[in-house]
Amino acid sequence: MSQNAVESVESFRARARTWLSEHMPRLDDRTQPESPDPDDDSHEWKRARELQQLLYQGGFAGICFPREYGGLGLTEAHQKAFTEESDGYEMPLLLNVPSFAICGATLLDMGGEDQKRDRVGAAIRGEEVMCQLLSEPSGGSDLAGLITRAERDGDEWILNGAKTWSTSAYAADWGLCLARTNWDVPKHQGLTMFLVPLKTPGLTLNRVRMVNGSREFCEEFFDDVRLPASSVVGLVDDGWTVASRQLFHERNAVGGGSPYVSGSGNLRATPHPSPFEVARASGRAADPRVRELVGEYLALKTVHEQTVGRVSAAMAAETLPPAGSSLLRLLHAEYMHLMDDHAVRIAGAGIATGIGSEPGVTGWTATGFLMRQGVSLGGGSTEIARNIISERLLSMPREPAPDRGVPFNQVKRVSG
């Protein structure tokens, strides 16, 4: 087939089906190596890289990424077909978010040619993993108010500050880090995005234990970390443009609309049962009230899935602006909240006592509920998503912001 010809989706699907059956391991045959340390998941990341390398060798990696950076240059329909065919097989799901769907996608849009060729290409080949270094301990949802600073020193930049809640940073090789490079202009105008190697001198990384026991998130401390000028993504002092595109991809990924995600499901250690699964496991599937709750969940699940398709298609056709990704982000949070709430209502006392035919499921329901609020924060808070929808999609007045237009070094901030 000519390099310029686009293979039909059905031909691609058939070829993928055959290749998967001959080369990819099935989930039913998967064995998890035991580790003496329950917090050590290095084997999962090693396996994810191996699976990604296998996909690359077989010609099925980076399906929607351009050919010049190691991808296949195909359409979202090709990716969807491959994801459907890969159901039941092991896939490198850990690499989907944030490495491909957020970081790789952002570099594709905003990075230089060397950055796209080297970092995106290495990720597609399964050689490197990327993460985000955005949120800060003092910043909350005000990302533009960050205080991690980068100062120019000849041909280098010196980075100092702290980041937190960085998903999977402990397993990453590179991070997209937003820092302040100009304090004399309003907060959105003095930021720069950097590509930071995670194994660089002066960078200390700690894993953070969450309420459900997970240590997926990290905090980072930068003490005179030196970066070359080539680390800048986009333009100096124009980092908010890069960050805005990055947040678009994050909301798209969180909402389920990213074309760069390959495979379906989640490989994290803790399962997340749905109300349907809890109803069956708790022996309450015949209860009329439980059936109502399950029906409400299934209805919103269908609405969520169909909305993802409609909004993604509209943004791709540019009939809906990029701010439309906030619709997906908001609906995803509402859907997940309802799923967790209804699962707990159905499980009842079983979440504590383990009553039912499958006690593990009701126990997992309780663990999942502990992290319920996380979906209101990832990808920007739900409140920010509502603001974006109201202001940028519905043309409602902007809410007051006393620091708007004020040089950042004159903005009053809480110290300490």
Q: Number of H helices and number of E strands within the chain?
A: 13, 8
Rounded CA separation 91/77 (Å): 19
User: Looking at residue 271, what is its pLDDT?
Assistant: 65
Average of per-residue pLDDT across 146-174:
97
Taken in order 305, 306, 309, 312, the sign of the CA dihedral is negative
Cβ atoms of 231 and 155 within 8 Å: the answer is no
pLDDT tens-digit series, residues 240-292: 999 999 999 999 998 888 999 999 865 554 567 899 999 988 889 999 999 99
| Residue 363: C-alpha distances to residues 265, 266, 275, 348, 355 (Å) | 20, 18, 13, 11, 9
Q: How high is the pLDDT of residue 31?
A: 66
In this predicted structure, the answer to whether residue 38 has a pLDDT above a threshold of 80 is no
pLDDT in tens, 366-413: 888 888 888 888 778 899 999 999 999 999 999 888 899 999 999 987
- For residue 210, the model assigns a pLDDT of 85
| The pLDDT of residue 358 is above 90 | no
SS3 109: helix
Structure tokens at 70: 């190691």
Q: Which one has a higher pLDDT value, 354 or 143?
A: 143
pLDDT at 36: 58
Q: Are 198 and 205 in contact (CB under 8 A)?
A: yes
Q: Quick one: fold of 132-243? A: Butyryl-CoA Dehydrogenase, subunit A; domain 2 (2.40.110)
Domain residue limits, the chain: 25-96+104-127, 132-243, 270-393
The mean pLDDT value for 226-246 works out to: 97
CATH architecture of 25-96+104-127: Orthogonal Bundle (1.10)
The answer to whether domain 270-393 has CATH 1.20.140 is yes
Which position has the higher pLDDT, 243 or 34?
Answer: 243
Q: Supply the pLDDT for residue 354.
A: 53
